[in-house]
Structure formats: structure tokens, C-alpha cells
Amino acid sequence: MAKAEASIRIGTKLLRNRITFAPTVKFDFTDDSGKANERLVSHYVERARGGCGLICVEATAVTPGGRFCKTHMGLWNDEQMEGHKELTAGCHEHGAVVIIQLNHTGYTANPECGPAIGPSAMKRQGFRGEYTTIAMSISEIHEMQQAFVDAAVRAKKAGYDGVQLHGCHGYLMNQFMAPSANLREDEYGGSVENRARFCCEIIRRVRELCGNDFLISVRTSGYDNDLADAVAVAEEYVKAGCDYLQVSSGISSLESLPAFHDPRVSDIQSLGAYFHEHFAGRVPVSCVGGLTEPGQIRYLLENDYVDTVDVARAILADPDFANAVITGGEYVKCYGCKACQYGPFMPHTCPAERKRKK
């Protein structure tokens, strides 16, 4: 039963503790260039100084067309690497392992940035109203896979310890693995192995080019109307070479998820617990979801429900939250705003940050 302060080895990387900073997008920390600016660099370095064992830098687009908006960070060209070199050096200086999340929005692409592409053509409802997605050809799938691989190689050159492939929350990788979003009848659709293939081929190529010392995580969907299916897809990721499963929600709601035996564990947290039970001793597993109190974090770890915890709002509210969990020290609590003030298109007027700076 691990303590929050216990170190853990993930792949070849040794994390100083079990608290990780979850990827949280802040769209005004860059411009249309997609480059990391000083504000973004200092944001992450501050949280490395605050004691996080691992930091996952926010969703980063692998092509211009896969952005949430025009001010979404990218790693689709070499010119975008420079700010990341400063970020990784700063995080390493303060003892954190640092990886970066790579993403393409797929069906949910912003029409100002690119078309709504994905595994299949289907009608969908979104902020643009009803629209029809575009099914990718085999050659387009391979080009997209190469974009992920190229971004991972750039991440390594920029000093990152690894990458996290964004396979949940309804984006492109999640769309390939989810039966409701993937209606293909070729080698990229149908069976579990086929639906996992898009991501697995990326994992294998990244491993080949970046080596065994490069951490490969998948932030995977823990549930898309079928828990067993989500676990089976993750099995394919692990067989392909994934070092770390960071489990979150997928496309479907969690209303039909089987109730977890411990009422102190929320539905979304229980996804990590289910995966941890299945993958125990093979790859570390994390959970996420509303972890804003030290007691919650200690409970999940000390009851062996997960190997690590992904914390977002609490670390946004106070960069020293991880240290506070470990030492029992004071911290500024997250106010639990209905819409997080650090969230997309928000003004970043976090009340906890204002309190800290008084």
C-alpha cells in the first residue's frame, strides 16, 4: 500500500512521488504559431518546484488541423521546439519527470482549423450544429500516425522524458477505439485488435525511434459503454509497448458503469481502480477526477486502488499542493468553480491564485 511520498519507477524513469500534474489546456498561453511562450514555461516550472513527481504538459496538436482553436499549442514543426527546451530544463532542475500529451481532435476539430476527420463518416451534433464527419483513407491514417510519431521525436529532442498519447475524452484516438465512433470494416475497425491498431502502430514506431528510455503513456478511455472492451483495448496498448496507463473517461457517459464496491471512490476514479486491478504488476495505472483534498489522494494510494494519482484543479489552485500532501503542510484550496477559471476560453482569474498572491 503505497504512500503519496513513495517513489515509483515507470518504464525507466523514477518518479520521486505518486502525485502527477494532469494535462490541462490553457488556450491563451500561445498564439497562432503554436509555440510555447514564457507564460506557459513558468506555469509548469512553478509546479515542478511545488513537488509534482511527474508533470504532463497539456494537449499539444500534432497537425494544425487537429487544434481546438487557433491558439492551441503544437509540435507539428521544428520551430515549435525551442520553448519546450526551456520548459523541460526548468522542470528537471526541480526534480520532476516531464512528459507531453500529443493529440488530434478528430471529429471535434474546430472548423477554423481543419475538417472533422476520423475513422468513419457519420452525422454528429456539436457546437457547430449538425455536421457530417469525413472518414479517413488508409493513406490518411498512415499520414496521421506519422504526424504523432514526428511530434514524439520532436518532444524527445526538446528534452521530454516521454509522451502521453491522448486516447480519451472523445478525440481522435478515442474515436478509433470506441465502437460507437468507429464503424470501419477494414484493419482499423471491428475487433478490439483492429480498433486499437491506430494507437498501437504509433506506440511501436515511437519506441523504435525514441528508444527504451523514452516513457510512453496512453491517457486511455476507461469506459465506452463496456468496461471489459476498454480494458481489452488497453491490453493491446500494453502489448505494443505502452509503459503507463492514465485512465479517464471516454465518449459515453458513465451512467451504466457498474458501481464500485467502495462508495468513497467516484465513478471516474473507479475506472483507474478497475484497470489497476487488471494490470497490477505489469504497468502502473493512474486515476483522475476531483482530487482536491490530500485525504482523497492518500486514501486511493494507501488502499492500493491505483499506483499514481493525476491531479489538476488542486495543483492549478496552488502549485505547492503536491508538497503539502506529502508534508501535511498548508495550501490554498481549490474553490471548485463550476467552470474552472484555468479552463479553455476562461479569463484565468482563479480565486485561489488571487488569495495566494495577496
Answer yes or no: is 113 within a domain.
yes
Answer yes or no: is 263 within a domain.
yes
Q: Which pLDDT value is given to residue 346?
A: 81
Answer yes or no: is 4 within a domain.
no
Answer yes or no: is 58 within a domain.
yes
pLDDT tens for residues 169-206?
999 999 999 999 999 999 999 999 999 999 999 999 99
pLDDT tens for residues 102-157?
999 999 999 999 999 999 999 998 877 899 999 999 999 999 999 999 999 999 99
The enclosing domain of 70 has a CATH number of 3.20.20.70
Between CA 32 and CA 67 the distance in angstroms is 10
pLDDT tens for residues 53-105?
999 999 999 999 999 999 999 999 999 999 999 999 999 999 999 999 999 99
175 contacts 188 by C-beta, under 8 angstroms: no
Mean pLDDT of the chain: 96
Q: Which pLDDT value is given to residue 55?
A: 98
**265: domain range?**
10-356
Between CA 68 and CA 106 the distance in angstroms is 10
Between CA 273 and CA 7 the distance in angstroms is 19
Answer yes or no: is 163 within a domain.
yes
Q: Which pLDDT value is given to residue 1?
A: 62
Answer yes or no: is 3 within a domain.
no
Question: Is residue 216 classed as helix, strand or coil in its secondary structure?
Answer: strand
The structural domain count of the chain equals 1
Higher pLDDT among residues 343 and 218, named by residue: 218
